[in-house]
Amino acid sequence: MSDLFVDITLPNGLQYKQPVGLYINGQWLKSDTQIVSINPYTEEPITSVYAASAADVDTAAQAAHVAFQSWKRVTGEDKARLLRRLATLTEENLELLASLEAIDAGKPKEYNAKADVEGVAAILNYYAGSADKISGRVIPISDTKFAYTRREPLGVVGQIVPWNYPISMSSWKFAPALAAGNCIIIKSAENTPLSLLLFATLVEQAGFPPGVFNIISGYGAIAGTAISTHPLIQKVAFTGSTKVGQTVQRDASANLKNVTLECGGKSPLIVFDDADFEQAVKWAAWGIMYNSGQNCTANARIYVQDTIYDAFLEKFRATVIEEFPLLDAFDDRAKLGPVISKVQYDKIKQYIASGKADGARVLLGDDTKVPEKGYWIPPTVFVDCAEHMKIVREEIFGPVVAVSKFSSEEEVLAKANDSTYGLAAMVFTKDIVKAHRFAAELEAGTVYVNSSNDEDIKAPFGGYKMSGIGRELGEEGLEIYTQVKSVHINLGNKL
């Protein structure tokens, strides 16, 4: 057992035992291979964890299938108590979880990582409040017959989460799935396995029955594929790139699995000349630089009306420089971290080179000094961009933004919608009629009016077009983990 936990001292002095095994059926298990987790700030290994094989996924699926037979009968009140207990444990371990998330995912602890962990507790409490309120409806048919519906859990659910929000995005999936009565197998991204494994110790303390909540690390091509294809897993919920989402959907189709996909984005942010100028600049900067631009909804395309374009660029540049310095994860002033990996770093650098080659002008980024160690991409602002450029059309997933000007409403609406993605869009204007008109016309699952990336757990979230299928959060986030059964009651109709 001792070799399934390693002693770790975090940069802020916190010491703890890090689980490195697979958490299956309430036990910590080894596998045949391991994954090394790298600190993006230092480029040094933190530790290694065991990576699940297809056989390990099968073990988890079998355990979850058995556990489901009793878990589905647990009352909503009892499920709610467990979820609330887990929320309390999350709050009690906020400092440790946030500190670990900071070095495993490359996040400033106070500005990013703490908010992520606080969000986990909030979403657990939110769906705990739903666990005893899942109901159907009565359908009158005739004097001698009526029908009613039951909303029932799906069974065993596989969940595959991304590296940009390792523990936060996990909670979007596991909280509603458990509240609805499902058993889960959740796989972390190979870049960021540590916080979710540590969270498994809280699952144990909360008292969830063995097999209900299984947590594994693993490679997408192996463990992810096993989850998508396993016949006992009735649903797959995935967050990640559009390309991998297509693979998940294709793999799941063999068993006609229920699939929810939250994939890539290239969100447009539109600033009209009647907007609150100061607020538009601040939100635009925050919406692309937060989490180092590693957000599916990051406003990576900014369209500014030509009458305020030059003034916007001047203020935007100054705001980004002031608000997003390159500092250590545990510096309380830090708001920007490195990107997740060398692979991601190289990819972003290639996009920056393509932007220059295509003729976009660099307003900010070339002269920024970066720390010697770490996968640092300085905030990079391209201006005078054209729609054909790769930096405008493709998801970069880093602190890189393409800014363009527009003259008319018709022009900017056409540009904003000219994308294969449709996850989010942002509009800044004081004209309430214009705001609602654009909210209706923009092809995106979420439209923020006079803000950016300030979703709330009470409102559904998901994408149009190649940005995904289904909705998470809100009431819809619970419904995706249920299926409807119709029951017909004959009160005397005879053949």
pLDDT digits (tens, 9 = 90+) for 340-352: 999 999 999 999 9
Per residue in 374-400, pLDDT (tens digit) is 999 999 999 999 999 999 999 999 999
Q: For residue 112, is pLDDT > 80? A: yes
- Is the same domain home to 298 and 161? no
Q: Tell me, yes or no, whether 490 lies in a domain.
A: no
Per residue in 76-104, pLDDT (tens digit) is 999 999 999 999 999 999 999 999 999 99
Per residue in 181-209, pLDDT (tens digit) is 999 999 999 999 999 999 999 999 999 99
Q: For residue 45, is pLDDT > 70? A: yes
Query: How many residues would you count in the chain?
Result: 495
Of 263, 313, 278, 83, the residue nearest 175 (C-alpha) = 83
Element (H, E) at 172: helix 168-179
Q: For residue 368, is pLDDT > 60? A: yes
CA 382 to chain centroid, in Å, comes to 26
Residue 82: predicted pLDDT: 98
Number of domains present in the structure of the chain: 2
In the chain, what percentage of residues exceed pLDDT 90?
Answer: 98
CB contact set of 384 (below 8 Å; sequence gap of 6+) = 360, 361, 403, 404, 405
- Is the same domain home to 68 and 119? yes
The residue annotated as part of the active site, out of 101, 262, 443, 472, is 262
- Is the same domain home to 110 and 245? yes
Distances 182 to 113, 153, 217, 451 between C-alpha atoms, Å: 28, 5, 20, 35
Q: For residue 2, is pLDDT > 80? A: no
Compute the distance between CA of residue 317 and CA of residue 425 in angstroms, rounded to an integer.
21
Q: Tell me, yes or no, whether 377 lies in a domain.
A: yes
Element (H, E) at 289: helix 277-289
> Is residue 444 within 8 Å of 419, Cβ to Cβ?
no
Q: Which residue has the tokens 């009306």?
A: 305
Compute the distance between CA of residue 343 and CA of residue 128 in angstroms, rounded to an integer.
39
- Is the same domain home to 213 and 179? yes
Write out the residue range of the structural domain in which residue 143 sits.
2-263+468-484
- Is the same domain home to 253 and 295? no
> Is residue 374 within 8 Å of 380, Cβ to Cβ?
no
Q: Tell me, yes or no, whether 100 lies in a domain.
A: yes
- Is the same domain home to 244 and 386? no
Residue type, 388: H
- Is the same domain home to 274 and 257? no
- Is the same domain home to 438 and 336? yes
Band of pLDDT at residue 1, cut at 50, 70 and 90: low
CATH number at residue 6: 3.40.605.10
Question: Residue 321 corresponds to which tokens in the numbers above?
Answer: 């420089």
Q: Which residue has the tokens 């919920």?
A: 237
Active site residue 152: no
Written as one string, the DSSP assignment of 367-381 is: T----SSS-----EE
Q: For residue 461, is pLDDT > 60? A: yes
CB contact set of 366 (below 8 Å; sequence gap of 6+) = none
Q: Tell me, yes or no, whether 425 lies in a domain.
A: yes
Q: Tell me, yes or no, whether 171 lies in a domain.
A: yes
Q: Tell me, yes or no, whether 493 lies in a domain.
A: no
Band of pLDDT at residue 356, cut at 50, 70 and 90: very high
Q: Tell me, yes or no, whether 418 lies in a domain.
A: yes
**Mean pLDDT within 274-281:** 98
Residue 406: predicted pLDDT: 98
- Is the same domain home to 276 and 256? no
Q: Tell me, yes or no, whether 210 lies in a domain.
A: yes
In the chain, what percentage of residues exceed pLDDT 70?
Answer: 100
> Is residue 406 within 8 Å of 427, Cβ to Cβ?
no
- Is the same domain home to 227 and 104? yes
CB contact set of 478 (below 8 Å; sequence gap of 6+) = 127, 130, 134, 176, 179, 180
- Is the same domain home to 451 and 480? no
Per residue in 206-249, pLDDT (tens digit) is 999 999 999 999 999 999 999 999 999 999 999 999 999 999 99
- Is the same domain home to 305 and 438? yes
CATH number at residue 343: 3.40.309.10
Residue 20: predicted pLDDT: 98
Of 71, 57, 70, 69, the residue nearest 24 (C-alpha) = 57
> Is residue 338 within 8 Å of 41, Cβ to Cβ?
yes
Residue 487: predicted pLDDT: 98
Q: How many CB atoms lie within 10 A of CB 3?
A: 8
Distances 380 to 282, 293, 300, 327, 349 between C-alpha atoms, Å: 16, 10, 11, 16, 10
- Strand pairing class (268-271; 424-428): parallel
